[in-house]
Structure 1
Amino acid sequence: MPNRMPAEHALCRSRGFTLIELVVTVAVIALGVSLAAIALRDSAASALERDAARLAALLESARALSRATGVAVTWRPAAQGFVFEGVPPGGSPWPTQWLDAATAAQGNAALLLGPDPIIGPQAVALHRAGSPATLQVATDGLRPFAVSAPGGPADARQP
């Protein structure tokens, strides 16, 4: 009989999971879910927002360069991206491509960025192929270029 008691006791211990096993399993599942959430976070709308914010920053940089050098700088959409005309040669090259290949500017309107400190109100609408979402990068001529929904105020998306 003394041998029977430890065998029953061992049988009872092997029927369940330990607390450490459960904690490790939950941690692995939580890590997998968080990695999947990060990977799925980059949607079409956020890609368009990134391109619009980048364009607003590039337009402001070109506007400041135009005022500093006294040379008129123009931005215009191109077949595969966009072009800055009037930028002095030398230095680092200006980007000519969108971050997302599906982003495009609507229409062919060019934006005059200077050299005058006050420019007229200007805007360009950006859209992404296959998506109804549209964003506008605009200025009233005094304030910096900002991203907004079409028809909304130019500074609606600024913090």
Structure 2
Amino acid sequence: MSGKRLQAHGSRGFTLLELMVVVSIVALATAGVSFALRDNDATLLEREGLRLSALLESARAQSRTSGVAVLWRGSDQGFEFIGHAVREGSPLAGARSWLQPDTHPQITQPVGAETLTLGPEPLIAAQRLVIQQGERRLTLATDGLAPFKVVPEEPVP
């Protein structure tokens, strides 16, 4: 009878090994979730960069088909496409706002330029544009032949 009593007392609760296994499973799940969540600010800047590169290429194509240069001008409030090829009713007509109000554009190539020239020639000058939101920066560039795309930022000398 004393053997049954020992078994009843010995089977209560969890062992230390079982508790450690459960804690490690919870820790791994938490780490997996934290890695799966992307930085929302980086995602917003990436979305702005993809949107802008698509619009720049659209304006470049419109410039080539019309034979008239289209210019892009950016400001802290937004950006606009300028030129006779951008007519009323065109998807590129009118000023556009940034997706996030704290976005700041800066044309870094050609140095000192206030606008990007998008055609009408198939081969344009190499151009580079940096958009910044807070401390985050994203660079869009073309070598003049390839489309505008997000590129790694050049190291600062």
Asked if these proteins are the same fold (TM beyond 0.5), I'd say: yes
How far the C-alpha of 1:99 sits from its partner, in A, is 3.7
Aligned CA distance change for structure 1 residues 122 and 15 (closer, same or farther; 3 Å): closer
Mark the CA change 1:150 to 1:96 in structure 2 (over 3 Å): closer, same or farther.
farther
Q: Secondary structure at the match of 2:114?
A: coil
Q: Distance in 2 between matches of 1:19 and 1:96?
A: 61
Give the deviation of 1:105 after TM superposition: 0.5
Q: Is the 8 A contact 1:109 1:124 kept in 2?
A: no
User: 1:17 and 1:69, CA in 2 relative to 1: closer, same or farther beyond 3 A?
Assistant: farther
Stretches of structure 2 lacking an aligned partner (at least 5 in a row): 108-112
Question: Aligned partners of 1:64 and 1:20: how far apart in 2?
Answer: 64
Provide closer, same or farther for how the CA distance between residues 58 and 32 of structure 1 changes in structure 2, counting only shifts above 3 A.
Answer: same
Looking at structure 2, the residues matched to 116 and 135 of structure 1 have their Cα atoms a distance apart, in angstroms, of 26
Residue 155 of structure 1 corresponds to none
C-alpha deviation, 1:76, in angstroms: 0.9
Q: Secondary structure at the match of 2:97?
A: coil
Within 5 Å, give how 1:32-71 maps onto structure 2: 32-39=30-37, 41-42=38-39, 44=41, 47-71=44-68
- 2:76–2:102 contact (8 Å) kept in structure 1: no
Q: What is the Cα deviation at residue 81 of structure 1?
A: 1.9
Aligned length in residues: 147
Query: Which TM-score applies when normalising by structure 1?
Result: 0.66
Among 117, 127, 131, the alignment partner of 1:112 is 117
Unaligned runs of 5+ in 1: 153-159
How many angstroms does 1:9 deviate by?
Answer: 0.2
What amino acid sits opposite 1:120 in the alignment?
Answer: A
What SS does the aligned partner of 1:137 have?
Answer: strand
Give, as a single letter, the amino acid of the residue that structure 1 aligns with 2:153. A
When you count strand as a share of all residues, which structure comes out higher? 2
TM-score (norm 2): 0.67
Q: Structure 2 matches for 1:1-159, cutoff 5 A? A: 2=1, 4-17=2-15, 26-39=24-37, 41-42=38-39, 44=41, 47-86=44-83, 87-90=86-89, 96-106=96-106, 109-129=114-134, 131=135, 134-146=137-149, 147-150=151-154
- What is the percent sequence identity of the aligned residues? 38
CA distance in 1 between partners of 2:11 and 2:90 (Å)? 73
What is the CA RMSD across the aligned residues, in angstroms?
3.6
- The amino acid across from 2:14 in the alignment is G
**CA displacement, residues 139-158 of structure 1 (integer Å, 9 cap, x when unaligned):** 23222223241479xxxxxx
1:17–1:136 distance in 2 versus 1, CA, 3 Å: same
**Would the aligned equivalents of 1:76 and 1:83 in 2 still touch at CA under 8 Å?**
yes
